Structure 1
């Protein structure tokens, strides 16, 4: 009877906490603000975001995995902190909306005529290329090419480009300093058994002095969900320890998670299961689980929970994929799922991934699914 009462109390606290999404929304709004400038490589965006998450860990009451919450590392990155001027046919274009300078481009200052190579490509010389695109998406480069490439949004600039004026400044950083933010809630019965929840907090940063990429769905939503779960587990310690890692360097090639796996702050064998959250701000069309076919028993258990509690409309199965921070853990034998939701906004790696258009449609359902899945995992001890 006592065990049954504790079980129902736990379910009640899970439900009531999950319904309060004010904290989650506040985290998304904060991380996507100008203060953090796309959580990237100029204006100290990533460093500020890491400090903010560490402060939240402390206020929540998480214990650090190491000497403190930060696991520091470094890597090379190409950045664009200065001038970002592109004029076509005498018309000044808006960064992020009308054009992008590709992430590996060197800086360049020149005026020239454009020669059409084919229907989508124009060139002024061997060091400058213009490409027409239906959608502008940006990324992060860890090296610099020899050619400056401008991608032009053909939907906003419909004329044939024939004259170009470029004044773009890049800065290559050999050893950009970053940090994974790592904490945990100690288990009450089996503290050496760990259920890990992860998400990356870095995004693309900014392009020039006036344009930044907010990254609401990618991945402020994942960080906000992780911190909400951290609050819940700090208030409701489990038999297992619950770990939380917010990774840096994901957009540059899963660099933060790879560094952690190569330099683990806890034995990887202690991690009984890992859930990675990336692009979880929607959910109208359900969600997908990467590694579902790799761990079929765990995926069946996840679906049984979902069917019982009617949480997510559809859970799609996907196989192994090196598309987020779960990957290197799986390669080292750590069982891991990567959750991402579908439906709603289509903004991705662009300036339109904003908090005001992020619905957080199935936040409550995803929160409860994770909590109940972790309960089931622990019951198997």
Structure 2
């Protein structure tokens, strides 16, 4: 009977985490779908994602921070909602695969011969540049330059560029509306003491009417992991409160997290520790913790738990870095770790960061590590 009971406990635990994995995979697939169009600046992608995450907070049982889950702010951004035609040597190229338009580019319609500058750079006049690249990597711009720059993938277009036909539509938005999504599970004993878990939900959006950037690893995986932790803590309230923030505007320069720090919905002094999740969809080569050397005692606790439970293959220590949404909290004296996994797929800021190639290798063990670590921090 005792052996049967132990077997039941082990099976139940495994089943619980299997369910969590299913939920996380579902969230990644949902957030990277065409409905949310890269969670960016065209086709209302970011707004739709914000509404979805808010509804998921409510469904899971999180309380809003303030009057509702949304903290709204505005910032400038250059967008590409319409025409996206590029023909080189009369051959039509595929957006995202064969070329990208530099994010600061203005609209342009032009059909001209190209002049060679060097082996990688060509010009079609003062307002048009062509650049040959080994990898196409896109981003977000908050201003517009005077030159339209087209980056061509050398791996898919191998000819020498001689002529170019361009019809590109960009639209600069002075005051794009975005929202941080904030929820909390109140602590049972110390509700004014908060452990904060964060992840940015925005990505690059779309380039033209037919191409979008799914952002599976960056950062649907982080949001999905955050939501799975929210699901757990909503069902298992802790002595301290556990807060959750999905930031907007990270890809445009950590804008959402900066806004929250400057306009906090909870006192920053009440945050015991912040864990920021970004790029956590792999894990074959372990993980890295930014600010590990800034908070060595907390990092030692994390490493001890990991060694005892044999979870992540390797945890690398890294110092202070302004590379994700933890940064402005650190600058205000809030203890913060930024965790990201390593290995596996190399897709980043391109159209190949897709859910079907995202392994979620370390998800279950990362989940266990964070829960065990938080428990220790709350003691």
CA separation of 1:322 and 1:109: change in aligned 2, threshold 3 A: same
Matched, 1:183 2:179: no
Contact kept, 8 Å, 1:15 with 1:368, in 2: the verdict is no
Matched, 1:325 2:329: no
Q: Distance in 2 between matches of 1:11 and 1:116?
A: 66
SS at 1:155's partner residue?
Answer: coil
Partner of 1:61: 61
Partner of 2:205: 205
Partner of 1:217: 217
Q: Distance in 2 between matches of 1:139 and 1:233?
A: 34
1:175-212 Cα distance to aligned partner (Å, 9 max, x none):
00000000000000000000000000000000000000
Partner of 1:368: 368
Q: Distance in 2 between matches of 1:119 and 1:70?
A: 49
Q: Distance in 2 between matches of 1:181 and 1:12?
A: 35
Q: Distance in 2 between matches of 1:313 and 1:296?
A: 19
Q: Distance in 2 between matches of 1:320 and 1:304?
A: 21
Extract unaligned runs of 5+ from structure 1. 1-9
SS at 1:125's partner residue?
Answer: coil
Q: Distance in 2 between matches of 1:55 and 1:157?
A: 44
SS at 1:132's partner residue?
Answer: strand
Residue 124 (structure 1) shift: 1.1
Q: Distance in 1 between matches of 2:291 and 2:10?
A: 28
Contact kept, 8 Å, 1:14 with 1:232, in 2: the verdict is no
TM-score after normalising by structure 1 = 0.96
Q: Distance in 1 between matches of 2:276 and 2:14?
A: 22
Q: Distance in 2 between matches of 1:356 and 1:139?
A: 22
CA RMSD, aligned part only?
1.3
Partner of 2:238: 238
Partner of 2:3: none
Q: Distance in 1 between matches of 2:50 and 2:160?
A: 44
After the TM superposition, which of the residue ranges 16-25 and 331-340 deviates more from structure 2?
16-25
CA separation of 1:15 and 1:71: change in aligned 2, threshold 3 A: farther
Partner of 1:6: none
Residue 12 (structure 1) shift: 10
TM-score after normalising by structure 2 = 0.96
Residue 220 (structure 1) shift: 0.3
Partner of 1:81: 81
Partner of 2:345: 345
Matched, 1:272 2:272: yes
Contact kept, 8 Å, 1:18 with 1:368, in 2: the verdict is no
TM alignment of 1:121-160, pairs within 5 A: 121-160=121-160
SS at 1:337's partner residue?
Answer: strand
1:221-277 Cα distance to aligned partner (Å, 9 max, x none):
000000000000000000000000000000000000000000000000000000000
Partner of 1:18: 17
Residue 55 (structure 1) shift: 0.3
Residue 19 (structure 1) shift: 3.3
Q: Distance in 2 between matches of 1:11 and 1:260?
A: 42
CA separation of 1:246 and 1:33: change in aligned 2, threshold 3 A: same
TM alignment of 1:38-57, pairs within 5 A: 38-57=38-57
Q: Distance in 2 between matches of 1:312 and 1:341?
A: 9
Matched, 1:287 2:293: no
Residue 15 (structure 1) shift: 6.5
Residue 278 (structure 1) shift: 0.2
Partner of 2:5: none
Q: Distance in 1 between matches of 2:245 and 2:120?
A: 42
SS at 1:307's partner residue?
Answer: helix
Contact kept, 8 Å, 1:199 with 1:222, in 2: the verdict is yes
Residue 11 (structure 1) shift: 11
Q: Distance in 1 between matches of 2:170 and 2:13?
A: 48
Q: Distance in 2 between matches of 1:128 and 1:298?
A: 51
Q: Distance in 2 between matches of 1:17 and 1:239?
A: 23
